[in-house]
Chain A
Amino acid sequence: LAKTTQPISMDSYEGQEVNITCSHNNIATNDYITWYQQFPSQGPRFIIQGYKTKVTNEVASLFIPADRKSSTLSLPRVSLSDTAVYYCLVGARGLDSNYQLIWGAGTKLIIKP
């Protein structure tokens, strides 16, 4: 059965680079890996999405190894406003072959001044 695993929490300081890794076994062959950010009392917000190798946008980078069993979200030069919960999201097929979206448990990132 598909499952994603990510660290429960991480601390860092302003200006540092933060890397959050998500392990995802049984990811569907043609599925993308997506990362979301969530602040308290808000719905998740899209950060970045990728299929393989490396993807970069204006706020983050996503590194995906060839076996696609994990992915690493990289946040460059974090600020206090990056304090939030970060989720990885993948698609996978369950035992009954029903396609499902599987969320990680979330990583609570706390940025200190």
Chain B
Amino acid sequence: KAGVTQTPRYLIKTRGQQVTLSCSPISGHRSVSWYQQTPGQGLQFLFEYFSETQRNKGNFPGRFSGRQFSNSRSEMNVSTLELGDSALYLCASSLSGTPRYNEQFFGPGTRLTVL
């Protein structure tokens, strides 16, 4: 069974631009969560989707948004990029329910660099 895939793997943008990252969960997994990982702040929860609905959201500004499609694939969007948005963005999927009760399977991440 294929793992979680994320595209693109690397991305370079400039301040003020917007970016869309894509995540394809493991087949059959309906929950998708997004995380931001930086050396200074570590892993931070962005949001979680289940059956196309956002169920939980972390403490990030409204510039960070996401969505999930009927096939469970998910995208996250960051508008008006800032230098501080440079990070590794990780997507994780789980079979059902919420991430707190289920094993999450992580993708390799998208490395975003904002210049």
Contact = CB atoms under 8 A, between A and B. Distances in A.
Physical interaction between A and B: yes
How extensive is the interface on chain A, given as a class? 20 to 34
Contacts of A44: 43, 90, 92, 104, 106
B100 A91 contact: yes
A81 interface: no
Contact of A32 (B57, B101, B107): B101
Interface of B: 4, 33, 35, 42-45, 48, 56-59, 90, 92, 98-101, 103-109
B43 A43 contact: no
Contact of A101 (B42, B100, B105, B107): B100
B90 to A, nearest CB: 5
Contacts of A103: 35, 42-45
A46 B56 contact: no
Interface in A7-58: 28, 31-32, 34, 36, 41-46, 49
Given A32-B100, A43-B92, A101 B56 contact: yes
